[in-house]
Amino acid sequence: MQADFVIVGAGSAGCAMAYRLSEAGASVIVIEHGGTDAGPLIQMPAALSYPMNMKRYDWGYSSEPEPHLGGRRLACPRGKVIGGSSSINGMVYVRGHAMDFDHWAEQGAEGWSYADVLPYYKRMENWHDGGHGGDPAWRGTDGPLHVSRGARQNPLFKAFVQAGIEAGYQATDDYNGHKQEGFGPMEQTVWRGRRWSAANAYLRPALKRDNCTLVNGLAQRVIFEGRRARGVEILQGGKTKVIHAAREVVLAASSINSPKLLMLSGVGPAGHLAEQGVDVIADRPGVGQNLQDHLELYLQMASKQPITLYRYWNLFSKAVIGAQWLFTKTGMGSSNQFESAAFIRSKAGVPYPDVQYHFLPIAVRYDGKVAAEGHGFQAHVGPMRSKSRGSVTLASPDPAEAPKITFNYMSHADDWEDFRRCIRLTREIFAQDAFKPFVKHEIQPGAAVQSDDALNDFISEHVESAYHPCGTCRMGRADDPQAVVDPQARVIGVEGLRVADSSIFPRITNGNLNAPSIMVGEKVSDHLLGKDTLARSNDRAWIHPDWQTAQR
């Protein structure tokens, strides 16, 4: 089996590359360990809590006991299915803030500033505002990835935005356009009532071409000839096979599995590889380091009115919603229910938003457990730019064994202060007049939890990953000893090998990571093909004029 390009991982970036490379006439083989994404649990947006908790679709990773969270192990789901994590995620679409990408460029990822990446966001999008306003000039309308907005029929969605305005924050009708900062509608990768994953958007059309093939198997290592990558060894049905790459091998296996594969292949911190009995091909101390994530909490309020989604939280209603969705792709099943959002700055002197809100008109946990109070609603909130850093390392040289994942969450003192501020700012929003008809009392943390110590205890016990791991194969200058890939995503120190997924992010972006992961696949495709990158954009994003002196 041979192709020009061998891509490991049919996830967000891998699917985009398969589409663009095959479109250009190159032959592509995509290796994916997971199986099909057929069936209502993945395709129905409202069923989103199911696939991320199913062994069939998830690698099932969890962190090592986290030292700053009382030894808790936090779940780290990664998609093991075509479409990767875009097939099991919450379908929230956030590009990230312009200043995130300008920071990447400053850190040595030249050619990845906002002016460079905005054209790729436009190329990948097929944006539908649904009559809700927005910034058409900033959006793409003929890309493979459909981006839409929920109907926002529940009055709580409007109340959340109105409360933000009453509290003195900005409104924005398109956080993916000119102005991220503010309260407004949330965008989702949903189209005609179905999850519009990278598999639906990119991989299925690519596989219709003769030059794109999907191979099922577990990638075990990259095969090198000297320092040049020549292929990928896979385990398929108990047998070891090699898939050969005539041009290049690309790892797009996630911020957990891409560094693991590099290390199994002899690219990584030499001391660690030697301990594991792996022969060193290139000593890259940054492989597996710089692991980042977003943590979040949800603040839950009991509702005075029986208007929340709790009224559908019974078998009969779920059956009706499921049937309506199966036959018509409409109704409650056709949205992820995250339909209002906000991005705010936590304090004066922060130039662009560092706090994100997802608002949900039901009080429920990610594992599907509903609040005892019944009718309620919640805001998911967390700081966007934690200073804590963790690592992914090998547990053993056996490719079938999960790597060791230590996020080192909340290891920086600022994280605690940031989280307490998030809780207090959220309480203030829920105390606005817009919520007066709806708020009965605070379920979680509860009105009694006020002091710094009490809030810290609550944070330690209840904080959860937002499932945005990244940064473990950081992009930077070729002479940067901690960088793993150069600005064209080439692995430094070897030839014919690139990494293209969220692991190359120098720093985590502001918001959910699916959109920037797909953008990476789009842009790296042009580097792989040796094409000129798209012309830079001259658009300037909105920055609050008083950011130095005002929080809102």
For residue 102, what are its two tokens?
């300008």
In sequence order, the 6+-apart residues with CB closer than 8 A to the CB of 106 are: none
Q: Would you say 105 and 213 are in contact if contact means Cβ atoms under 8 Å apart?
A: no
In a domain, 129, yes or no: yes
Is 90 labeled as ligand-binding?
yes
Reply yes or no on whether 441 is catalytic. Answer: no
91: annotated binding-site residue?
A: yes
Do 196 and 178 sit in the same domain of this protein?
no
Q: Is the pTM of this model over 0.95?
A: yes
In a domain, 389, yes or no: no
Residue 503 lies in a domain: yes
Q: Are strands 340-344 and 355-360 parallel, antiparallel or unpaired?
A: antiparallel
In a domain, 41, yes or no: yes
Tell me how far CA of residue 258 lies from CA of 90, 159, 196, 202, 279, in angstroms: 22, 42, 24, 21, 18
361 plus 502 within the same structural domain: no
Query: 164 and 307 in one domain?
Result: yes
- The CATH number of whichever domain residue 309 belongs to comes to 3.30.410.40
What confidence category does residue 369 fall into, taking pLDDT thresholds of 50, 70 and 90?
confident
Known binding residue 92? Answer is: yes
Same domain, 234 and 326: no
| 67 and 180 housed in the same domain | no
For residues 94 and 51, membership in a common domain is answered with yes
Number of compact structural domains in the chain = 2
Query: Which one of the listed residues 380, 468, 527, 544 is annotated catalytic?
Result: 468
Query: Is 89 labeled as ligand-binding?
Result: yes
pLDDT over threshold 80, residue 368: no
pLDDT at 299 over 80: yes
Looking at the structure, tell me whether residues 280 and 348 fall in a common domain.
no
79 and 11, same domain (yes or no): yes
Same domain, 109 and 174: no
**Band (370; pLDDT cuts 50, 70, 90):** confident
The tens digit of pLDDT for each residue in 25-65 reads 999 999 999 999 999 999 999 999 899 889 999 999 999 99
The reply to whether 38 and 125 lie within a common domain is yes
Collect all residues with Cβ–Cβ distance below 8 Å to 86 and sequence separation of at least 6: 11, 12, 15, 79, 189, 197, 198, 199, 514, 517, 518
81 is in an annotated binding site: yes
Q: Which residues pair with 380 in a beta bridge?
A: 298, 358
Q: Is 87's pLDDT higher than 90? A: yes
Residue 376 is given by DSSP the state: E
228 and 324 inside one domain: no
Per-residue tokens: 346? 């936590």
The answer to the question of residue 481 being in a domain is: yes
* Of the residues 440, 462, 484, the one at which a domain ends: 462
User: What is the mean pLDDT of the segment spanning 468-497?
Assistant: 98
Q: Do 303 and 438 meet the contact criterion of CB atoms below 8 Å apart? A: yes
Least confident segment among 42-56, 446-460, 486-500: 42-56
The predicted-structure confidence for 395-448, as pLDDT tens digits, reads as follows: 999 999 999 999 999 999 999 999 999 999 999 999 999 999 999 999 999 999
Mean pLDDT over 365-386 rounds to 89
Domain end among 462, 485, 503: 462
User: Is 366's pLDDT higher than 80?
Assistant: no
Q: What's the rounded Cα separation, in Å, for the pair 537 and 514?
A: 22
C-beta separation of 441 from 473 below 8 A: no
Q: Which residue has the tokens 């696949």?
A: 521
Residues of the domain holding 267: 1-148+188-293+470-542
Confidence band of 372 (pLDDT split at 50, 70, 90)? confident
Q: Same domain, yes or no, for 108 and 221?
A: yes
Q: What is the mean pLDDT of residues 499-523?
A: 98
- Res 132 pLDDT > 80: no
CATH of the domain at 269: 3.50.50.60
For residue 371, name the pLDDT band (cuts at 50, 70, 90): confident
Q: Report the range of poorest mean pLDDT among 312-321, 324-333, 360-369.
A: 360-369
